[in-house]
Chains A and B, each alone.
Chain A
Amino acid sequence: MSGYVEGIIILLFINGIAAMGVSLLTGFTGVFTLGHAGYMAIGAYTAAIMTVRYGIHWLPAILAGGIIAMVIAYCIGVPTLRLMGDYYAIASIGLGESIRLILENWQSFTRGARGYPGIDNYTNLPVAATFFVIMAVLMFFLIRSNFGRAFKACRDDYVAASLLGFNTARYRVLSLSISAFYCGVAGALMAGFLTFIQPVMFDLNKSTELTAVVVFGGLGSLSGSLIGTAVITLVTELFRPISQYRMLIYGAVMVIIMVVRPEGIMGQHELGPRFIRSLFNRKDRSPRTAEGGGGR
């Protein structure tokens, strides 16, 4: 396998991890965010500084990247997610930009806007694939549990959710913390893949892309978010030779999806036997019998 193809696959895994995080928050909990690149930046710089400056092994450095992003998200989430509606979306823009500006100006620690070079190339294909598989399994499991149902209840109707006994603010903060952990890990893997990071990589464009991918794949579908990531990452890479027109095609793909499938590629279904079956017999809307409910 050529290095270029391998690189794209690693990038797919990394973006996939970040997209799963945003998918949990936006797709399943219904909190829009425009600042998750900030958490990626925190993860990336944490891992970079820990490995380069302090010589710590990359594995704990990656996990630390995720955990620090999670802690910061928790501190931001407690005051902002108590408020209802789209306050967090506004706060998240400010947050993402503040993180980037701090990284740019804290010269002594982050080397500022010139970027942070000389990071070990620890993210090879097996590492990225292992992280991706483990985190994907955990996320799919989490969605199919009591927590998954609680998140969805908060998304669909927060008044009804609190009248079913859910502390909705707590679930939103939890969801944000987990999603920040995923983005932090993705950022740390990104640092080890590129070996050079710059604050400008984690700007508002990157944040918007993360949310766009999730909406594009279908809000409330984890597999949809992953498919969305794959499509957007591949479109961006395949058309690299005609770089001037790349964003044009990116935009065209977005418009086509919005027109053809406004609910996103997967809607809120997961890619699985049931979804494939439903594609073939769309007209057959008869209710399934009680014992056919499936035990999982």
Chain B
Amino acid sequence: MSETVLKLDHVNKYFGGVHAVQDMSFSLEKGELAGLIGPNGAGKTTIFNLITGVYDVDSGTILFEGEDITPYKTYEVIRKGIARTFQNLRLFPRSTVLENVMTACQQHYQYGFFEAASHLGRWKSLERSIRDQSMALLERVGLDALAEQAAGTLPYGHQRRLEIARALSLQPRLLLLDEPAAGMNPDEVQELNGLITAIHRDFDLTILVIEHHMELVMEICPHIICMNFGAKIAEGDPDHIQNHPEILKAYLGEEVLEA
């Protein structure tokens, strides 16, 4: 019994004369861990920006759990249950690690303006829930000891994990990870590998990950979508992708294949 979580249907996006995303269609089933790969400039991050409403789609539709989310604004898409991380980190560097997570976590513990200004009513209990929930997530990614540090002072690998914790605290059903391993050394990549599979298992998530580290994608993603110049060139399991002539061409160039 599978149900479709995300479905892109003939999505197009132009930036002036550049056809950045060409007739893109794919769908993710519930509980999938899928990879989106392709050379630099292929339009992978643009896909994420289209899904989350940062850019408007020029034509085509994006369905999330059967609902058309194409016209929604970014914050509406997020509230439907999608969360994402960024290729170039977008933490709140001056806030503490804990505050970063609490800022996202509070979406699920809303209280009113007058409770906030008077610290009466539900303020105390809900603030405690937000804090506890955030600490639990930080523990999960192994950053609980650094909770009171400014986020901007953390090492790069830790900031990446903090972004994942922050995204998870939105309690999404679909998680989009944009190059989570960028700038990491092989050991850190291995660690991240374990973290992604673990949260995929424990949080009952559908995950779509953009990645350049082929070993990471090939190892953890049973479903891989490959794109080049804005168009999908192949889709399938790792074996299929590794031997696909179009992909070898995209990554290695035509000359290599002819030789």
Contacts and interface: CB of A to CB of B under 8 A. Distances in A.
A165 B83 CA distance: 9
A147 B113 contact: yes
Contacts of A287: 145-149
Interface stretch (A9-17, A58-66, A153-161, A183-191): A153-161
B234 interface: no
A139 B94 CA distance: 21
B123 A145 contact: yes
A165 to B, nearest CB: 4
B98 A293 contact: yes
Interface stretch (B21-29, B100-108, B200-208): B100-108
A165 B119 contact: no
A293 B148 contact: yes
Interface in A269-296: 287-290, 292-293, 295
A287 B127 CA distance: 22
Interface in B162-219: 166, 170
Contacts of A174: 113
A166 to B, nearest CB: 6
Contacts of A292: 148
B117 A145 contact: yes
Interface in A157-216: 157, 159-160, 162-168, 174
Nearest to A268: B94
A261 interface: no
B95 A156 contact: yes
Nearest to B85: A163
Nearest to B149: A287
Contact of B145 (A162, A163, A289): A289
Nearest to B84: A163
A159 B86 CA distance: 11
Given A156-B94, A156-B95, A164 B145 contact: no
A153 B145 contact: no
A141 interface: yes
A157 B128 CA distance: 25
A281 to B, nearest CB: 14
B54 A163 contact: yes
Given A164-B78, A165-B170, A149 B103 contact: yes
The SS class assigned to the B binding surface is: helix
Q: Which of B74, B83, B107, B146 has the most A CB atoms < 10 Å from its CB? A: B74
Interface string B44-69: 00000000101000000000000000
A258 interface: no
B82 to A, nearest CB: 9
Contact of A293 (B74, B86, B147): B147
Interface string A248-277: 000000000000000000001000000000
B106 A149 contact: yes
A146 interface: yes
A138 B128 CA distance: 20
B103 A141 contact: no
Interface of B: 52, 54, 73-75, 78-79, 83-84, 86, 90-95, 98-99, 102-104, 106-107, 109-111, 113, 115-119, 123, 126-128, 130-131, 135, 144-149, 166, 170
Given A152-B92, A165-B104, A293-B147, 13 more contacts: A142-B117, A146-B106, A146-B116, A146-B126, A150-B103, A153-B103, A163-B84, A164-B170, A165-B79, A165-B107, A268-B94, A290-B145, A293-B148
26 contacts: A138-B117, A138-B118, A144-B119, A146-B106, A146-B116, A147-B113, A147-B116, A150-B103, A153-B92, A153-B103, A156-B92, A160-B90, A160-B91, A162-B73, A162-B74, A163-B90, A164-B103, A164-B166, A165-B78, A165-B79, A165-B170, A167-B73, A287-B148, A288-B148, A293-B135, A293-B148
